[in-house]
Structure 1
């Protein structure tokens, strides 16, 4: 599907965008991959990483600017929406700015994609959009609803389809706890917000593969949730700095004790597959649509997919192996 196509990724200089670019160029050999973001320095650094690959185009712009999006999307086939204001405390203290990017930006992208007749759009969501307790999560829930409901326009003759992928803590991404712990691994003490805290564990590669699967599988309106293991934050700290003591500092404003990706209410329209779940929308009877359900099996009544009640857990040995493979440049762990 993506072979010889034109793809645009918003927020493309982030951890996900760089990994998506690397893997997609190698696997699908698209004709053109456009990095749309607002930071020229990050684009400059990314261009050096990819050694001026002629298939990569860089486009300075902000999802808050619909006119700029409209121009960037000209002759594009597929879009991945990764741009967001996503640091939880930052969103709590700068709510207007978070709303402008995460909600208004989503609205702008939906309009621009429809106007430019984009074929398929995948928006990246977060565990924090499930039963949100912070502003970031609330804005991403609103964003998810916008992308899902926008499929009703294609039902009236428009060809653009919108779906969402949702996952939790991405191992090694700039916003995750792992790089933070690694930067302090020589210290005698590591700060821990709460010793009970758990997180889902997914690699960037797995996140990219989920987006690929969604592009191939989607009808429009689905939220894809990958099955991934959980881990206690204290165990992550023990793997990275086994001799360091843990200082409990308390949960930050808006932070959750556990990650949740499928809520009790969402489970009413959630289906299970071999490697993922699919939350179908409650509007337009789409949750009963066999084209969307395919070979899925309805989850049990009362199902909740949360990091503390997950049936799959990552061991310390598995995490150690992953860190050695991906962080060999920082020395022995």
Structure 2
């Protein structure tokens, strides 16, 4: 093995020289063997025969070199190289025939075809032998893998891995019976039911999923089967990435959580995607956030006239603007991008931006969305989410924006936390604006409500992945907590399409599929990383799932509907919900009271007003606002007005809990 390693590591100049010498010796030997096989030993005693032999042997490296055979890296041999090799042998055979004719036919003509066959076997066999020796030197350094899927993608992946230095494919697994028991790329194909046996027998350390065109529901079934093996699983890119050229077959990556969910994306309706965007001035608030940034990407592909990016986070705004500029350069697009640092709370600033650029369509994604943080920062959550949206909606009306699409959340449905309550209140604000009599050219308001998105800031998936890489534990708040999930690109596409077909004041609800138990998601991520979950049944496992308890304001189950009245739309993933609205006069008076309480930091009064409003808000547990806690810790005896307000809020909450309990 040491000698082979030295041979492999020799300079390429010396290796080419040895290959030339080997070809010369093998061609000479082929002539001698051909003479012996056809029973013509006598010519070996003639000087003319040895002259022909030397000439052909010495000229062989020149012929092969002219064809480029010595520039080929052996580990990348393919059919094109073999064709060049056959041509080279044919030219060497013609050279032998010509020299034999010039010398006076010392060799019989029957020797020629035998020589040609022996030459192909000899020089081709030498290269295959060297290739196998190279693979042998790398086997102890390469990770043995099994490929799930023996189709075209699996075969191409095996070829790529054979030439690579990281993985060593040992076998295929495929569902199709027609392939089981056969050989693909020289590797056996086994049944999925025998996978566990072959993983142990072949010492497999990794399973590579090579089924890019399989539907997600099928990929989910396969991954659930593989999760029971506790062996690492990686996958090749999807068919869309392969066709577009964004990825290659050999670009293996960790299993995407989208595959664990099994949710099939629905192709977007082109007419809905472009209706409010193409050749228009479009603005996105919260453009640097997860949803806002993806909205910008999707919007840019629809070729607006101007895209206005608004965010109050400098770095986030810079990052998305640079990304979009790069995308336009690569795709040859020339769309005006305008990145503006601003807060939606500043109504005059919003009015100035909207009127100066003549914004026609506005996607409002800016909000504080982190449940525990908003719970601990009650006043700022209200100031940004509620009064920021109010200021933006007012500015949109005054600037005659055509369409206002607000991104909402499933946490707005019967909220138990402040963040959900603020988002439900913003829905009521937009509905009230839609109901105001302001003439025929008023802004059309609509709201789009959906659940969690994968990969967003604060998402559990990257958090779980980081915890697994650290060796655990993986922290889940509750064993029974469930959530709805969809991908960020799908959510952004559905928001755009819903906004295009909404009538004034409509609330759209996205079809989120089936809810997912977070504990199951964490366990599958652990097992597909090649580790075992440590629990009572597996005390020797690798990663423990630790339950930390529900955070302030967190619900076990999320809902998407308030009233239960839902209607289909032309899009299979978009529904419209008939929700309770609040007349403008009542809402206006309520917001005045709420703003007064917020400006005075009267936390008890704020909570009282939130419970009083038709939000379905039912807070669980005591208030956890950090300023409120600090004030009570340092000054236990509040002024009489504050105490009365706190008492009133508590009484209202108790009455609400009693009525809900009796119901």
Aligned residues of 1:117 and 1:160 also touching (Cα < 8 A): yes
Cα deviation, residue 135, structure 1: 0.4
Per the alignment, residue 524 of structure 2 pairs with 239
Per the alignment, residue 322 of structure 2 pairs with 48
The counterpart of 2:298, out of the listed 19, 23, 29, is 23
Question: CA distance change for structure 1 residues 284 and 111 in 2, over 3 Å: closer, same or farther?
Answer: closer
Q: Which runs of no fewer than 5 residues in structure 2 stay unpaired? A: 1-274, 329-334, 533-542, 584-663
State the distance in 1 between where 2:524 and 2:336 align.
Answer: 40
Cα deviation, residue 188, structure 1: 3.1
Aligned residues of 1:82 and 1:124 also touching (Cα < 8 A): yes
CA RMSD of aligned residues (A): 1.8
The counterpart of 2:429, out of the listed 146, 161, 164, is 146
State the distance in 2 between where 1:233 and 1:41 align.
Answer: 31
Determine whether 1:280 maps to 2:569: no
Aligned residues of 1:6 and 1:78 also touching (Cα < 8 A): yes
The counterpart of 1:121, out of the listed 377, 392, 404, is 404
State the distance in 2 between where 1:205 and 1:214 align.
Answer: 14
Per the alignment, residue 215 of structure 1 pairs with 499
Question: CA distance change for structure 1 residues 29 and 251 in 2, over 3 Å: closer, same or farther?
Answer: same
Aligned residues of 1:221 and 1:280 also touching (Cα < 8 A): no
Question: CA distance change for structure 1 residues 248 and 29 in 2, over 3 Å: closer, same or farther?
Answer: same
Cα deviation, residue 190, structure 1: 0.4
Per the alignment, residue 278 of structure 2 pairs with 3
Give SS of 2:465's match.
helix
Question: CA distance change for structure 1 residues 160 and 85 in 2, over 3 Å: closer, same or farther?
Answer: same
Give SS of 1:206's match.
helix
Per the alignment, residue 65 of structure 1 pairs with 346
Which stretch of the first structure deviates more once superposed, 91-100 or 208-217?
A: 208-217
Which one has more relative contact order, counting CA pairs under 8 Å at least 6 apart?
A: 1
Structure showing the higher helix proportion among its residues:
2
Structure showing the higher strand proportion among its residues:
1
State the distance in 2 between where 1:200 and 1:5 align.
Answer: 33
Cα deviation, residue 50, structure 1: 2.1
Cα deviation, residue 250, structure 1: 0.3
Aligned residues of 1:117 and 1:159 also touching (Cα < 8 A): yes
Determine whether 1:251 maps to 2:526: no
Q: Which runs of no fewer than 5 residues in structure 1 stay unpaired? A: 286-333
State the distance in 2 between where 1:99 and 1:276 align.
Answer: 29
State the distance in 1 between where 2:497 and 2:407 align.
Answer: 13
Determine whether 1:202 maps to 2:486: yes
State the distance in 2 between where 1:21 and 1:239 align.
Answer: 33
Aligned residues of 1:162 and 1:221 also touching (Cα < 8 A): yes
Between Structure 1 and Structure 2, whose CA radius of gyration is higher?
2
Cα deviation, residue 112, structure 1: 0.2
Cα deviation, residue 23, structure 1: 1.7
